[in-house]
Structure 1
Amino acid sequence: MAQRRTPFGDRARYWFDSTLARGAPALVGWMALLCLAIVVPASAVLVWTDPDAPAPLADRLTEVWRLTGETLRLGGATGAPLRVTMSVLLALVALLYVSTLVGLITTALTERLTELRRGRSTVLEQGHAVVLGWSEQVFTVVSELVAANANQRRAAVAVLADRDKTAMEEALSTKVGPVGRTRLICRSGPTTDPAVLTLTSPATAGVVLVLPHDEPDADAEVVKTLLALRAALAGEGSRPPVVAAVRDDRYRLAACLAAGPGGVVLESDTVTARLIVQAARRPGLSLVHQELLDFAGDEFYLISEAALAGRPFADALLSYPTSSVVGMVRGDTPLLNPPPQTPIAPDDLLIVISRDDDTAWLDDCAELVEKAAMASGPSTPARPERVLLLGWNRRAPLIVDQLRRRAQPGSAVDVVADGREVTARQVSEADTQSGTDLILTLHHGDITRPETLRRLEVHSYDSVIVLGQDPAPGQPQDDPDNRTLVTLLLLRQLEEATGRELPVVTELIDDRNRALAPISPGADVIISGKLIGLLMAQISQNRHLAAVFEELFSADGTGVRLRPATDYVLPGCETSFATVVAAARHRGECAIGYRSHDDSSTSPGYGVRINPPKAERRRWMVEDEVVVVGKD
């Protein structure tokens, strides 16, 4: 069979590609031939069309060479062959020098730009905030720091994480949005390397926040980061305040020792469990916590008020027309809702909820109180509660323990989960710790299947808590939320079928899934990472607030409560908020706001109003609730 002849064009292209594959010498040769093929004919045209060109052919060829040499920077000297050769040699040497110099400069600039893109330059700032680590909490922390720095001219937040600098900047720009006057600075590298930590200049920082990530070794990573920070600050005269968070309380002591004196370490799982239980006992309480913790509205401040020194604490409650007093700090000890007759010492700091630190001003509001509108009946008594716990994760035993602490005799918790989530032994261990006032029962079943929920008398429970599974190693972090969303969708179907609303408290991992959750407006959703981020941001601005929040969110101490408005004012009566404050004072509580039932489905506050003016008047209905700081 005759061999097929390859077209000439294909063979020529193949030969050309083969010569290029030989490397730089072949490429330089082809470039030289290409340039000569263009420059020589063009130079000849210029010479032959020049009316002043010499007539002899040799002189014209010499002129063509001169133009070619000047164009290609080859000297262009004419005369003896040696002279021409030396001219070309010098031109090549000059070309080699210039091209090498340009290459070195280009390489140096490229390396410098690459280093800057990788985030390897040192931050030169004073009083800036340093955020170490990367998780979903970083967006909440940075957003709150930006809000806190809104009235400052020069503010900066430096984020260090073992991620690409450009990717971090793009993610922060997308999720945080406009940052105003605050400058966001990202640096890339492991947070456990002291040499890398110096890139953020922690010695000159105003505060350092260490974020936990969602991997199984998250707490150990936090401790290592704190130790690296300690090594990076060795020899420095002063250390910035440190705020960190761990998931497991077993790591808290080690983290506190690594953070050093003045460091604050939060237990994220414990705080989340407390907030879930509080919201389960009083629907809507998570909205109050959200209002108190973010910088968008009113928040906690510590102020000194010499004019109130020596007077009882009860007088301070009606001394601020636009701020709410909830306690005081004596030394380093917070006294939330102390007894009304507790005297205020000259060195005490008042704990107030206010719009800003300069909006707390004195003025007697006692004349606004209308005693005729105050209720005098007993408080609503506590009763046994039945809680349905759908799902199980590492926070479930903590939730059971929190439910036990204030459980009335006869209270019960029914757990529904499959064998992959929890075993009977785990529930038995939690039941052993739960004492005699709480009955804990395990029911096996898949909470993402409709038949499982239909078998339960869901509406017979006082509250329903939906938990997601702990993500397995290598599993995407939003997978637990996927199961939770399916369960919520089935519960929503039960609500529509019966026409009765369920008191559901939902735990989500990703804040973006809040908009996807098929729940009623104003329902309680606990975004664990977001709440911890809000707490860390608040404490970073004033570390003395750490003890205040520890007391507020404890199970046994003084905390934020939602009470029926009828415990304080007569139903249907129109009166001022100062009257509610005075009624709460008689009950040994500090009133800080209310939740209107008529607006409970209206965003963005869903009826929650924190720190209203004392002079604000409204008609108080039976379904309204008052937000107080007090004990159960």
Structure 2
Amino acid sequence: MGRGTSLKGRARYWFDTTLARGTPALVGWLAVGCLVVVFPVSAVLVWTDPHAPASRSGRLAAVWRLSGETLRLGGATGPLLRVLLSVLLALVALVYVSTLVGLITTGLTERLTALRRGHSTVIEQGHSVVLGWSEQVFTVVSELVAANANQRHGAVAVLADRDKTTMEEALGRKVGTTGRTRLVCRSGPPTDPDLLALTNPGAASAVLVLPHDDPSADPEVVKTLLALRSALDGKESPPVVAAVRDDRYRLAASLAAGTNGIVLESDAITARLIVQSARRPGLSLVYRDLLDFAGDEFYLTFDPALTGRSFGDTLLAYATSSVVGLLRDGRPLLNPPPQTLLGPGDRLIVITRDDDTARLSDCSGLVDESVMTPWQPANARPERVLILGWNRRASLIVDQFGRCAVHGSVIAVVADPKEVTAEQVRDAGTDFAPRLTMTFRPGDVTRPETLRCLEIDSYDSVVVLSPDPVPGEQPDEADNRTLVTLLVLHMLEQESGRELPVVTEMTDDRNRTLAPISPGADVIISGKLIGLLMAQISQNRHLAAVFEELFSLTGSQIHLRPAASYVLPGCEASFATVVAAAQPRGECAIGYRRHDRATAVPDHGVRINPDKNERRRWTDRDEVVVITQD
């Protein structure tokens, strides 16, 4: 048994050694294998053929001819030289045909591979171009598909340094069906002008340059914008919407984008929404409804019949649209004074279902002044905010809180000393002392013993920040830590019997459903927020200034006010009555939130742009969504 195994091993080793000699050895073994099969089978066929020659030499000649025809070796018989020349010609023909087939196959394979990689020029017109690949790409493409739903021939072209098939599969899995919109993927770095030209940006309706997942990659966004300028080669640039994470690169990106470009600073916008949601719980739900194309969003409209009328009069001029501002000389004016007169060149900024649903309909007759509540302005009071965790946006969040802080306000930070030091925390609030006090407690926010001694009930709001990604760390790791922290907070809520006003920051929107918080709580998904903003602005560049003001601290913002401040609790009133009650206070009422549906999915009680004919019984726990200056 051992001897048999040894012989088998030697034979296999010898066979492997011959194969290692390259192509000649492979061809030789292939020829031997063919001859071993072809000659015996041909001999059997000839010897069993009743019409075969009777002589042995004749039968051997027949075997040779049959084998030659099978192997395409000519099969000539006669003198040895004749047979050898026949075999030589057959081998030359075989090499020629094989080489020709190989060349044709290689050429077709390369061509198909090039087409599969997406190296052909897009011939679409009026399409949207998305440059780059990051967490925003799925949100941006989904919203562009929704925006094109009422168009016959819409198209979105995506260029990224990824395999074309991989991009198509990922988009198909997360975006789903695209309806009438054609999705085109092209593979290559967007920083290469030649490859960028494949997307035909000169004929596009808008170009969107996505921010990179890595904050240190903002220079790539600037380089992509420069490549776009080079690809256009002096042609007029389409509207460009780009986003950077670090404000140090916003100026450079704006210069590279040109006069038709708009550059968003994603970290600053995210920080502002976190602060606004901490001060006005439920606000993120309002923005989510306003920013996606599935519901009501901002549009521009005007009717000549409104010329000469005051802005306050227009608030009740549309039954199914909410007026929030006007566009004058290309500059948006959000929530202008009610007495502002409308000129012939002005256009109204409205929230409505679609660009053709804003129709005049006088609703002043629906107002019931008997149920209106007298205005009682609220006084500002000190805030107590608890921040759990620290990341690159934390200092921006402290800055936003500090700018409107009242004397006696406190921000307490609990974070791992590896993420931030006490000195860095104090420096973040130095500009707002003494009205704002900063405290720091080192600790692991995922451990119950760290949070038990914080007296969480004493804080007006709790902000849970995701840690910055660590090189080599899995993308979900930051959200995993956030989920653990939320579990601990949920345990403390159950122990105290009080629901904590928590604002949570996450990276992946899929983790929202896993978070142990109330369904209507504020969860800020920075990537999705920026993606929604970019998609909205790409369809109407004038909205950039509108969103800039909404997310600022000095202009008009979205607020959630108690419904009892506008109508008497327990009384039935139309939404037109709420709009009329808000108008003298310099506010534009655009919706409400029902307290009895605060945890109901998917709207969580938020109703944006309700019909002004809609009547309901208002409770003291309902809230009205208004746009006003704080």
- The answer to whether structure 1 residue 63 and structure 2 residue 62 are counterparts is yes
Contact persistence 1:195–1:232 (CA under 8 A): yes
- Code of the aligned partner of 2:498: R
Q: 2:255 corresponds to which residue?
A: 257
2:360 partner SS: coil
Equivalent residue for 1:173? Answer: 172
Tell me how large the CA RMSD over aligned residues is.
Answer: 1.9
Show the 5 A alignment for 1:394-543. Answer: 394-543=392-541
Secondary structure (helix, strand or coil) at the match of 1:515 reads helix
- Counterpart for residue 242 of structure 1: 240
- Residue 31 (structure 1) aligns with: 30
CA distance in 1, matches of 2:215, 2:627: 36
Larger deviation, residues 378-387 vs 307-316: 378-387
Q: Secondary structure of the equivalent of 2:207?
A: strand
Query: C-alpha displacement at 1:7, in angstroms?
Result: 4.6
CA deviation after TM superposition for structure 1 residue 388, in Å:
1.4
Q: One-letter code of the match for 2:196?
A: L
Instruction: Tell me, in whole angstroms, the C-alpha distance in 2 between the residues paired with 1:308 and 1:104.
Output: 73
Report if the CA contact (8 A) 1:380-1:567 is conserved. Answer: no
Higher mean C-alpha displacement, 255-264 vs 504-513: 504-513
Question: 2:224: which partner in 1?
Answer: 225
Q: CA deviation at 1:483?
A: 2.2
Shift of 1:461: 1.1
Q: 1:581 offset after TM fit, Å? A: 0.9
Tell me, in whole angstroms, the C-alpha distance in 2 between the residues paired with 1:476 and 1:628: 41
2:271 aligned to 265, 270, 273, which one?
273
Are the equivalent residues in 1 in contact too, given 2:155–2:183 (CA < 8 A)? yes
Q: Residues 466-499 of structure 1, C-alpha deviation per residue, up to 9 Å, x if partnerless?
A: 1122223443333322222221111111100011
Matched AA of 1:482: N
Contact 1:128 1:156 (C-alpha < 8 Å) held by counterparts:
yes
Which residue number corresponds to residue 605 of structure 1? 603
More off after superposition, 314-323 vs 37-46? 37-46
1:47 lines up with 2:46 in the alignment: yes
1:188 aligns with 2:182: no
User: Partner residue of 1:164?
Assistant: 163
**Alignment partners' CA distance in 1, 2:200 and 2:532:** 24
**Which stretch shifts more, 526-535 or 176-185?**
176-185
Structure-2-length-normalised TM-score: 0.96
Q: How big is the shift at 1:39?
A: 2.3
Q: Which of the numbers 329, 347, 366 marks the counterpart of 2:327?
A: 329
1:20 paired with 2:19, answer yes
Deviates more, 1:5-14 or 1:607-616: 5-14
Deviations 1:442-470 (A, max 9, x none): 23333222122111111111111111222
Q: CA deviation at 1:157?
A: 1.8
Give the match's secondary structure for 1:582.
helix
Matches within 5 A, 1:34-183: 34-183=33-182
Contact 1:318 1:365 in 2 (8 A): yes
Which amino acid is the alignment partner of residue 224 of structure 2? Answer: T
- Structure 1 counterpart of 2:507, one-letter code: I
Match of 2:550 among 549, 552, 567: 552
Cα distance in structure 1, aligned partners of 2:383 and 2:523: 20
Which position in structure 1 is the counterpart of 2:317? 319
Distance in 2, matches of 1:232 and 1:475, equals 36
TM-score by length of 1: 0.96
Change in 2 beyond 3 A, CA 1:4/1:73: closer
- Paired residues of 2:215 and 2:246 also in contact (CA < 8 A): no
Give the Cα–Cα distance (whole angstroms) in 1 for the partners of residues 11 and 383 of structure 2.
88
Q: SS of the counterpart of 2:254?
A: helix
Distance 1:84 1:187 in 2: 56
Which deviates more from structure 2 when the two are superposed, residues 472-481 or residues 149-158?
Answer: 472-481
Q: Verify the 8 A CA contact 1:243 1:265 in the aligned structure 2.
A: yes
| Mapped partners of 1:444, 1:457: distance in 2 | 16
> How far off its partner does 1:136 sit?
1.0
1:45–1:529 distance in 2 versus 1, CA, 3 Å: same
In structure 2, list runs of 5 or more residues that go unmatched. Answer: none
CA distance in 1, matches of 2:572, 2:233: 62
Per-residue deviation, residues 160-195 of structure 1 (Å, max 9, x unmatched): 222233332222222222222222222222222222
Shift of 1:9: 3.8
Distance 1:5 1:126 in 2: 73
CA contact (8 A) 1:209 1:244 kept: yes
What residue in structure 1 maps to residue 571 of structure 2? 573
CA contact (8 A) 1:488 1:519 kept: yes
In structure 2, distance between residues paired with 1:573 and 1:435: 46
Q: Tell me, in whole angstroms, the C-alpha distance in 2 between the residues paired with 1:540 and 1:216.
A: 23
Residue 91 of structure 1, CA deviation: 1.7
Equivalents in 2 of 1:220, 1:29: separation in Å? Answer: 57
Equivalent-residue separation in structure 2 for 1:6 and 1:623 (angstroms): 87
SS at match of 1:602: coil
**Paired letter, 1:479:** E
Kept in 2: contact 1:354–1:360 (CA 8 A): yes
Residues 386 and 411 of structure 2 are in contact (CA less than 8 Å); yes or no, is this contact kept in structure 1? Answer: yes
Q: Distance in 1 between matches of 2:109 and 2:499?
A: 62
Q: Shift in Å at residue 508 of structure 1?
A: 1.1
Find the counterpart in structure 2 of residue 620 from structure 1: 618
Is the alpha carbon distance of 1:404 and 1:8 closer, same or farther for their aligned partners in structure 2, counting shifts above 3 Å? Answer: closer
**CA deviation vs aligned residue, 1:85-116 (integer Å, no higher than 9, x gap):** 33222222211111001111111122223323
CA distance in 1, matches of 2:575, 2:15: 89
Q: Percent identity?
A: 72
Pick which of 277-286 and 29-38 moved more: 29-38
- Cα 1:314/1:8, change in 2 over 3 Å: same
Partner deviation per Cα, 1:354-406 (whole Å, 9 max, x = no partner): 11111111111111111112112413333222111222222122212211222
Q: How far did 1:122 drift?
A: 2.9
Counterpart for residue 197 of structure 2: 198
Kept after mapping to 2: 8 A contact 1:216/1:473 = no
* Deviation readout 1:408-435 (Å, 9 max, x if unpaired): 3322222222322222322232222224
Structure 1 residue 599, shift from structure 2 partner: 0.2
Structure 1 counterpart of 2:177, which letter?
A: P
Which amino acid is the alignment partner of residue 494 of structure 1? L
- For the structure 1 residues 365 and 517, does the alpha-carbon distance in structure 2 shift closer, same or farther, using more than 3 Å as the test? same
Maintained 8 Å contact 2:215/2:245? no
Where 1:217 maps in the other structure, the secondary structure is helix
1:51 CA displacement: 3.0
Aligned length: 629
The aligned amino acid for 2:450 is T
| Contact 1:464/1:502 (<8 A) preserved | yes
Query: Is 1:360 matched with 2:355?
Result: no
Moved more, 396-405 or 535-544: 396-405
Per-residue deviation, residues 54-73 of structure 1 (Å, max 9, x unmatched): 33333332222222222211
What's the counterpart of residue 215 of structure 1?
214
Q: Which amino acid aligns with 2:340?
A: T
Moved more, 296-305 or 115-124: 115-124
Q: CA deviation at 1:325?
A: 0.8
| In structure 1, C-alpha distance between the alignment counterparts of 2:438 and 2:190, rounded to whole Å | 42
Q: Taking structure 1 as reference, are residues 14 and 483 closer, same or farther at Cα in structure 2, changes over 3 Å only?
A: closer
For residues 253-311 of structure 1, give each alpha carbon's deviation from its aligned partner in whole angstroms, at most 9, with x where no partner exists.
Answer: 11100101110001111111111111111110110010000111111111232221121
Q: Distance in 2 between matches of 1:293 and 1:472?
A: 31
Structure 1 residues without counterparts, runs of 5 or longer:
none
Is the 8 Å Cα contact of residues 379 and 567 (structure 1) preserved in structure 2? no
**Residue identity in the other structure for 1:269:** D
Question: Does the residue aligned with 1:621 lie in a helix, a strand or coil?
Answer: coil
Structure 1 residues 550-598: Cα deviation after superposition (integer angstroms, max 9, x where no partner)? 1111111001111110111111111111111111112211111000000
- Return 298-307 or 542-551, whichever deviates more: 298-307
CA contact (8 A) 2:307 2:342 kept: yes
Name the SS for the 1:500 alignment partner: coil
